[in-house]
Chains A and B, each alone.
Chain A
Protein backbone atom coordinates (compact mmCIF):
# COMPACT_ATOMS: atom_id res chain seq x y z
CA UNK A 1 0.00 0.00 0.00
CA UNK A 2 2.70 2.46 1.04
CA UNK A 3 4.91 1.46 -1.85
CA UNK A 4 1.99 1.96 -4.24
CA UNK A 5 1.50 5.48 -3.01
CA UNK A 6 5.24 6.17 -3.26
CA UNK A 7 5.43 5.01 -6.86
CA UNK A 8 2.28 6.99 -7.64
CA UNK A 9 3.77 10.13 -6.15
CA UNK A 10 7.01 9.69 -8.09
CA UNK A 11 5.07 9.17 -11.32
CA UNK A 12 3.17 12.39 -10.71
CA UNK A 13 6.44 14.24 -10.14
CA UNK A 14 7.96 12.67 -13.26
CA UNK A 15 4.93 13.73 -15.32
CA UNK A 16 5.11 17.29 -14.01
CA UNK A 17 8.81 17.48 -14.83
CA UNK A 18 8.45 15.71 -18.14
CA UNK A 19 5.89 17.95 -19.82
CA UNK A 20 8.12 21.02 -19.57
CA UNK A 21 5.70 23.03 -17.43
CA UNK A 22 7.42 22.49 -14.14
CA UNK A 23 5.28 23.87 -11.38
CA UNK A 24 6.44 27.20 -10.09
CA UNK A 25 6.93 26.07 -6.51
CA UNK A 26 9.33 23.33 -7.52
CA UNK A 27 11.66 25.67 -9.37
CA UNK A 28 11.08 29.00 -7.63
CA UNK A 29 14.44 30.65 -6.98
CA UNK A 30 15.21 31.36 -3.36
CA UNK A 31 14.83 35.07 -2.75
CA UNK A 32 17.57 35.97 -0.35
CA UNK A 33 15.60 38.66 1.45
CA UNK A 34 12.99 36.02 2.33
CA UNK A 35 15.51 34.46 4.68
CA UNK A 36 15.93 37.69 6.64
CA UNK A 37 19.15 38.26 8.49
CA UNK A 38 20.41 37.34 11.93
CA UNK A 39 18.75 39.35 14.70
CA UNK A 40 16.17 40.84 12.33
CA UNK A 41 12.79 39.13 12.02
CA UNK A 42 11.85 37.08 8.97
CA UNK A 43 9.76 38.82 6.32
CA UNK A 44 6.58 36.81 6.75
CA UNK A 45 4.73 37.26 10.04
CA UNK A 46 4.96 33.92 11.86
CA UNK A 47 1.78 31.94 12.45
CA UNK A 48 1.72 29.23 15.09
CA UNK A 49 0.95 25.66 14.06
CA UNK A 50 -2.08 25.97 16.33
CA UNK A 51 -3.86 28.12 13.72
CA UNK A 52 -3.67 25.25 11.21
CA UNK A 53 -5.43 22.75 13.51
CA UNK A 54 -9.11 21.91 13.63
CA UNK A 55 -11.16 23.69 16.30
CA UNK A 56 -11.42 20.41 18.26
CA UNK A 57 -7.64 20.10 18.41
CA UNK A 58 -7.28 23.77 19.35
CA UNK A 59 -9.72 23.32 22.22
CA UNK A 60 -7.89 20.22 23.40
CA UNK A 61 -4.65 22.19 23.62
CA UNK A 62 -6.16 25.21 25.30
CA UNK A 63 -8.01 23.28 28.00
CA UNK A 64 -5.24 22.79 30.52
CA UNK A 65 -7.02 19.84 32.09
CA UNK A 66 -7.81 17.74 29.04
CA UNK A 67 -4.62 18.52 27.12
CA UNK A 68 -3.05 15.02 27.07
CA UNK A 69 0.43 16.57 26.98
CA UNK A 70 -0.13 17.60 30.59
CA UNK A 71 0.20 13.93 31.59
CA UNK A 72 3.85 14.16 30.53
CA UNK A 73 4.24 17.49 32.36
CA UNK A 74 2.87 15.89 35.55
CA UNK A 75 5.23 12.95 35.17
CA UNK A 76 8.10 15.39 34.57
CA UNK A 77 7.33 17.29 37.76
CA UNK A 78 7.48 14.05 39.77
CA UNK A 79 10.86 13.17 38.20
CA UNK A 80 12.08 16.70 38.83
CA UNK A 81 11.34 16.49 42.54
CA UNK A 82 12.58 12.96 43.20
CA UNK A 83 16.23 12.03 43.68
CA UNK A 84 17.31 9.44 41.10
CA UNK A 85 19.38 7.55 43.71
CA UNK A 86 20.47 7.79 47.35
CA UNK A 87 22.85 10.66 48.12
CA UNK A 88 22.09 12.16 44.72
CA UNK A 89 20.42 15.55 44.41
CA UNK A 90 17.05 15.83 42.71
CA UNK A 91 16.75 18.46 39.96
CA UNK A 92 14.67 20.55 42.37
CA UNK A 93 17.49 20.57 44.96
CA UNK A 94 19.65 22.77 42.70
CA UNK A 95 17.13 24.49 40.41
CA UNK A 96 14.22 26.75 41.25
CA UNK A 97 11.85 28.02 38.57
CA UNK A 98 12.80 27.07 35.01
CA UNK A 99 10.59 29.74 33.44
CA UNK A 100 12.23 31.10 30.30
CA UNK A 101 14.93 28.43 30.21
CA UNK A 102 13.53 26.50 27.25
CA UNK A 103 13.63 29.73 25.20
CA UNK A 104 17.41 29.86 25.44
CA UNK A 105 18.04 26.49 23.83
CA UNK A 106 19.71 25.31 21.64
CA UNK A 107 22.76 27.20 22.88
CA UNK A 108 26.51 26.81 23.05
CA UNK A 109 27.64 25.32 26.34
CA UNK A 110 29.77 27.76 28.32
CA UNK A 111 32.99 25.75 28.17
CA UNK A 112 33.39 25.98 24.40
CA UNK A 113 31.24 22.91 23.81
CA UNK A 114 29.10 22.24 20.78
CA UNK A 115 25.61 23.61 20.26
CA UNK A 116 23.31 21.84 22.68
CA UNK A 117 19.53 21.50 22.79
CA UNK A 118 17.41 21.23 25.92
CA UNK A 119 17.33 17.42 25.90
CA UNK A 120 21.12 17.23 25.63
CA UNK A 121 21.47 19.81 28.43
CA UNK A 122 19.20 17.74 30.70
CA UNK A 123 21.32 14.68 30.00
CA UNK A 124 24.57 16.55 30.66
CA UNK A 125 23.21 17.73 34.00
CA UNK A 126 22.22 14.14 34.76
CA UNK A 127 25.66 12.74 34.06
CA UNK A 128 27.71 15.59 35.57
CA UNK A 129 25.70 16.40 38.70
CA UNK A 130 23.62 13.30 39.35
CA UNK A 131 26.13 10.69 38.12
CA UNK A 132 23.30 8.92 36.34
CA UNK A 133 23.33 7.26 32.92
CA UNK A 134 21.98 9.52 30.19
CA UNK A 135 18.33 9.10 29.28
CA UNK A 136 17.66 7.76 25.82
CA UNK A 137 16.37 10.28 23.31
CA UNK A 138 12.58 10.03 23.05
CA UNK A 139 12.36 7.95 26.24
CA UNK A 140 9.29 8.81 28.30
CA UNK A 141 11.50 10.15 31.13
CA UNK A 142 13.43 12.59 28.93
CA UNK A 143 10.24 13.73 27.22
CA UNK A 144 8.57 14.24 30.60
CA UNK A 145 11.44 16.39 31.87
CA UNK A 146 11.70 18.47 28.70
CA UNK A 147 7.91 18.91 28.61
CA UNK A 148 7.92 19.98 32.27
CA UNK A 149 10.70 22.52 31.68
CA UNK A 150 9.15 23.70 28.40
CA UNK A 151 5.71 24.13 29.93
CA UNK A 152 7.10 26.60 32.46
CA UNK A 153 7.87 28.97 29.57
CA UNK A 154 4.33 28.59 28.21
CA UNK A 155 3.02 31.96 26.99
CA UNK A 156 6.45 33.61 26.79
CA UNK A 157 7.50 35.23 23.55
CA UNK A 158 10.32 33.70 21.51
CA UNK A 159 13.15 36.17 20.91
CA UNK A 160 15.55 36.52 17.99
CA UNK A 161 18.93 36.78 19.71
CA UNK A 162 21.63 34.52 18.26
CA UNK A 163 24.84 34.58 20.32
CA UNK A 164 28.08 35.24 18.35
CA UNK A 165 29.48 31.80 19.31
CA UNK A 166 26.33 30.18 17.86
CA UNK A 167 26.53 31.96 14.50
CA UNK A 168 28.19 29.13 12.57
CA UNK A 169 25.61 26.64 13.87
CA UNK A 170 22.84 29.05 12.96
CA UNK A 171 24.17 29.42 9.40
CA UNK A 172 24.44 25.63 9.08
CA UNK A 173 20.85 25.29 10.29
CA UNK A 174 19.67 27.87 7.77
CA UNK A 175 21.53 26.09 4.96
CA UNK A 176 19.85 22.85 5.98
CA UNK A 177 16.47 24.56 5.83
CA UNK A 178 17.00 25.68 2.22
CA UNK A 179 18.78 22.52 1.02
CA UNK A 180 16.77 20.20 -1.22
CA UNK A 181 16.84 16.56 -0.10
CA UNK A 182 15.27 13.15 -0.56
CA UNK A 183 13.60 11.50 -3.54
CA UNK A 184 11.06 14.31 -3.60
CA UNK A 185 13.94 16.81 -3.85
CA UNK A 186 12.24 19.26 -1.55
CA UNK A 187 13.72 21.66 1.00
CA UNK A 188 11.92 22.64 4.21
CA UNK A 189 11.03 26.00 2.70
CA UNK A 190 9.23 24.51 -0.30
CA UNK A 191 6.43 23.38 1.99
CA UNK A 192 6.66 25.66 4.99
CA UNK A 193 7.35 29.00 3.29
CA UNK A 194 6.24 28.78 -0.33
CA UNK A 195 3.17 26.63 0.33
CA UNK A 196 2.21 27.33 3.93
CA UNK A 197 -1.54 27.62 4.30
CA UNK A 198 -2.25 25.49 1.22
CA UNK A 199 -3.67 22.01 1.13
CA UNK A 200 -1.48 18.88 1.12
CA UNK A 201 -4.01 16.11 0.60
CA UNK A 202 -6.34 16.45 3.59
CA UNK A 203 -4.06 18.66 5.65
CA UNK A 204 -3.17 22.34 5.72
CA UNK A 205 0.56 22.92 5.41
CA UNK A 206 1.77 24.93 8.41
CA UNK A 207 4.66 27.37 8.56
CA UNK A 208 6.56 24.67 10.41
CA UNK A 209 7.33 26.39 13.70
CA UNK A 210 8.54 24.40 16.68
CA UNK A 211 7.04 26.62 19.39
CA UNK A 212 4.78 23.89 20.78
CA UNK A 213 7.36 21.11 21.24
CA UNK A 214 7.59 18.75 23.01
CA UNK A 215 4.05 18.37 21.71
CA UNK A 216 1.32 15.75 21.86
CA UNK A 217 0.60 14.56 18.33
CA UNK A 218 -2.68 12.75 17.83
CA UNK A 219 -1.04 10.65 15.13
CA UNK A 220 1.64 9.47 17.58
CA UNK A 221 -0.84 9.13 20.46
CA UNK A 222 1.96 10.44 22.65
CA UNK A 223 4.24 13.36 23.37
CA UNK A 224 7.25 13.67 21.07
CA UNK A 225 10.25 15.95 20.68
CA UNK A 226 10.86 18.45 17.89
CA UNK A 227 13.50 16.09 16.50
CA UNK A 228 10.93 13.33 16.17
CA UNK A 229 8.85 15.75 14.09
CA UNK A 230 11.90 16.68 11.98
CA UNK A 231 12.63 13.00 11.32
CA UNK A 232 9.01 12.60 10.27
CA UNK A 233 9.44 15.54 7.84
CA UNK A 234 12.58 13.93 6.38
CA UNK A 235 10.73 10.66 5.85
CA UNK A 236 7.89 12.66 4.26
CA UNK A 237 10.16 13.91 1.49
CA UNK A 238 11.70 10.40 1.29
CA UNK A 239 15.06 11.45 2.69
CA UNK A 240 17.07 9.36 5.14
CA UNK A 241 16.38 10.81 8.62
CA UNK A 242 19.36 11.60 10.85
CA UNK A 243 19.82 9.94 14.22
CA UNK A 244 18.29 11.55 17.29
CA UNK A 245 20.60 14.24 18.64
CA UNK A 246 22.40 14.65 15.30
CA UNK A 247 24.19 17.98 14.89
CA UNK A 248 22.14 18.71 11.75
CA UNK A 249 18.92 18.66 13.77
CA UNK A 250 20.32 20.71 16.66
CA UNK A 251 21.48 23.37 14.16
CA UNK A 252 18.08 23.30 12.51
CA UNK A 253 16.37 23.66 15.90
CA UNK A 254 18.35 26.87 16.44
CA UNK A 255 17.36 28.21 13.03
CA UNK A 256 13.72 27.28 13.67
CA UNK A 257 13.74 29.11 17.00
CA UNK A 258 15.00 32.24 15.25
CA UNK A 259 12.38 31.79 12.55
CA UNK A 260 9.61 31.53 15.16
CA UNK A 261 10.54 34.85 16.80
CA UNK A 262 7.41 36.67 17.92
CA UNK A 263 5.40 33.52 18.58
CA UNK A 264 4.71 32.37 22.11
CA UNK A 265 5.71 29.03 23.59
CA UNK A 266 2.80 26.55 23.57
CA UNK A 267 4.46 23.51 25.18
CA UNK A 268 2.81 21.04 25.49
CA UNK A 269 0.94 21.78 22.26
CA UNK A 270 -1.54 19.40 20.64
CA UNK A 271 -1.05 18.75 16.95
CA UNK A 272 -2.85 16.40 14.57
Chain B
Protein backbone atom coordinates (compact mmCIF):
# COMPACT_ATOMS: atom_id res chain seq x y z
CA UNK B 1 0.00 0.00 0.00
CA UNK B 2 1.50 3.29 -1.08
CA UNK B 3 1.70 5.95 1.58
CA UNK B 4 1.59 9.15 -0.44
CA UNK B 5 -0.74 11.30 1.66
CA UNK B 6 -1.95 14.92 1.58
CA UNK B 7 -3.73 16.39 4.60
CA UNK B 8 -5.15 19.89 4.99
CA UNK B 9 -5.84 21.01 8.56
CA UNK B 10 -5.29 24.43 10.19
CA UNK B 11 -2.44 24.58 12.69
CA UNK B 12 -4.57 26.41 15.22
CA UNK B 13 -8.23 27.23 15.91
CA UNK B 14 -10.42 28.95 18.49
CA UNK B 15 -12.30 26.90 21.11
CA UNK B 16 -15.69 25.90 19.70
CA UNK B 17 -14.61 26.53 16.12
CA UNK B 18 -15.57 24.01 13.43
CA UNK B 19 -12.59 23.27 11.20
CA UNK B 20 -12.66 21.65 7.79
CA UNK B 21 -10.28 18.75 7.23
CA UNK B 22 -9.31 17.42 3.81
CA UNK B 23 -7.44 14.18 3.15
CA UNK B 24 -6.13 12.61 -0.04
CA UNK B 25 -4.17 9.36 -0.38
CA UNK B 26 -2.67 7.77 -3.48
CA UNK B 27 -4.09 4.30 -3.96
CA UNK B 28 -5.17 2.50 -7.18
CA UNK B 29 -8.46 1.21 -5.64
CA UNK B 30 -8.62 -1.73 -8.06
CA UNK B 31 -12.23 -2.89 -7.97
CA UNK B 32 -11.46 -6.43 -9.15
CA UNK B 33 -13.33 -6.12 -12.44
CA UNK B 34 -10.74 -4.35 -14.57
CA UNK B 35 -8.16 -6.11 -16.72
CA UNK B 36 -4.65 -5.09 -17.71
CA UNK B 37 -3.24 -4.61 -21.23
CA UNK B 38 -2.85 -8.39 -21.65
CA UNK B 39 -6.42 -9.07 -20.67
CA UNK B 40 -5.52 -10.49 -17.25
CA UNK B 41 -7.91 -9.68 -14.44
CA UNK B 42 -6.43 -7.22 -11.92
CA UNK B 43 -7.28 -8.54 -8.45
CA UNK B 44 -9.29 -6.40 -6.09
CA UNK B 45 -7.10 -4.10 -4.02
CA UNK B 46 -8.88 -1.39 -2.06
CA UNK B 47 -8.67 0.65 1.11
CA UNK B 48 -11.48 -0.59 3.33
CA UNK B 49 -11.45 1.75 6.32
CA UNK B 50 -10.50 5.31 7.11
CA UNK B 51 -10.60 6.77 10.61
CA UNK B 52 -9.73 10.10 12.16
CA UNK B 53 -9.10 10.44 15.90
CA UNK B 54 -8.81 13.83 17.60
CA UNK B 55 -7.27 13.82 21.08
CA UNK B 56 -7.88 10.05 21.16
CA UNK B 57 -11.59 10.41 20.32
CA UNK B 58 -12.99 9.02 17.09
CA UNK B 59 -14.38 11.99 15.14
CA UNK B 60 -14.80 10.50 11.67
CA UNK B 61 -14.88 7.02 10.19
CA UNK B 62 -15.58 5.82 6.66
CA UNK B 63 -15.92 2.39 5.09
CA UNK B 64 -14.75 2.38 1.49
CA UNK B 65 -16.23 0.12 -1.17
CA UNK B 66 -14.93 -1.15 -4.54
CA UNK B 67 -16.95 1.49 -6.42
CA UNK B 68 -14.84 4.33 -5.02
CA UNK B 69 -12.39 5.90 -7.48
CA UNK B 70 -8.61 5.80 -7.20
CA UNK B 71 -6.85 8.20 -4.82
CA UNK B 72 -9.76 8.57 -2.36
CA UNK B 73 -10.41 12.16 -1.32
CA UNK B 74 -12.33 12.59 1.94
CA UNK B 75 -13.36 15.84 3.55
CA UNK B 76 -15.15 16.36 6.85
CA UNK B 77 -15.32 18.75 9.82
CA UNK B 78 -14.56 18.59 13.52
CA UNK B 79 -15.45 20.87 16.41
CA UNK B 80 -12.37 22.00 18.31
CA UNK B 81 -12.25 22.14 22.12
CA UNK B 82 -8.73 21.21 23.28
CA UNK B 83 -5.23 21.28 21.80
CA UNK B 84 -4.42 17.81 20.59
CA UNK B 85 -3.26 15.44 17.96
CA UNK B 86 -5.25 14.41 14.88
CA UNK B 87 -4.48 10.82 13.91
CA UNK B 88 -5.48 9.69 10.43
CA UNK B 89 -5.40 5.98 9.52
CA UNK B 90 -6.10 4.22 6.27
CA UNK B 91 -6.42 0.41 6.35
CA UNK B 92 -6.39 -1.67 3.19
CA UNK B 93 -7.97 -5.08 2.60
CA UNK B 94 -4.74 -6.87 3.61
CA UNK B 95 -4.77 -5.03 6.92
CA UNK B 96 -1.84 -2.78 6.04
CA UNK B 97 -2.10 0.58 7.73
CA UNK B 98 -0.91 4.06 6.77
CA UNK B 99 -0.96 6.49 9.67
CA UNK B 100 -0.34 10.23 9.71
CA UNK B 101 -0.59 12.71 12.58
CA UNK B 102 -1.04 16.48 12.73
CA UNK B 103 -1.07 18.67 15.83
CA UNK B 104 -3.69 21.37 16.29
CA UNK B 105 -3.27 24.06 18.98
CA UNK B 106 -6.19 25.93 20.50
CA UNK B 107 -5.84 29.73 20.60
CA UNK B 108 -6.29 30.99 24.13
> Taking beta carbons and an 8 Å cutoff, which residues of A are in contact with B?
65-66, 68, 70-71, 74-75, 218, 221-222
Asked if A74 contacts B69 (CB within 8 A), the reply is no
Residues of chain B touching chain A, judged by Cβ–Cβ distance below 8 Å, are: 4, 6, 8, 22, 24, 26, 28-29, 69-71, 73, 75
Quote the shortest CB–CB distance from B103 to chain A (angstroms): 19
- In the docked arrangement, what's the CA distance between A66 and B7, Å? 10
CB distance from A164 to the nearest CB of B (A): 40
Residue among A66, A75, A221, A222 making CB contact with B24, cutoff 8 Å:
A66
**A221 CA to B28 CA, complexed, in Å:** 8
Contacts of B22 in A (CB 8 A): 65-66
CB-based contact B71/A74 at 8 Å:
no
Please name the residue on chain B nearest to A222 by beta carbon.
B70
A66-B24, A68-B70 known, 9 other contacts, Cβ within 8 Å: A65-B6, A66-B75, A71-B6, A71-B26, A75-B26, A221-B28, A221-B69, A221-B70, A222-B28
Please tell me if the beta carbons of A74 and B73 are within 8 angstroms of each other in the complex.
Answer: no
Shortest Cβ gap from B98 to chain A (Å) = 13
Contact B8 A65 (CB under 8 A): yes
Inter-chain contacts of B6 with A (CB < 8 A): 65, 70-71, 74
- CB nearest to A68 among chain B residues: B71
Closest Cβ–Cβ distance, residue A230 to chain B (whole Å): 17
A222 cross-chain contacts in B, Cβ below 8 A: 28, 70
Report B-chain residues with C-beta under 8 Å of the C-beta of A218.
69
Instruction: Across the A-B interface, give the 5 residue pairs with the lowest CB-CB distance, nearest first.
Output: A221-B70, A71-B26, A68-B71, A65-B8, A71-B4
How far does the alpha carbon of A65 sit from the alpha carbon of B24 in the complex, in Å? 8
Bound together, the chains give a CA A66 to CA B73 distance in angstroms of: 7
- Across the interface, do A74 and B8 meet the contact criterion of CB distance under 8 Å? no
Q: How far is the CA of A89 from the CA of B26 in the complex (A)?
A: 27
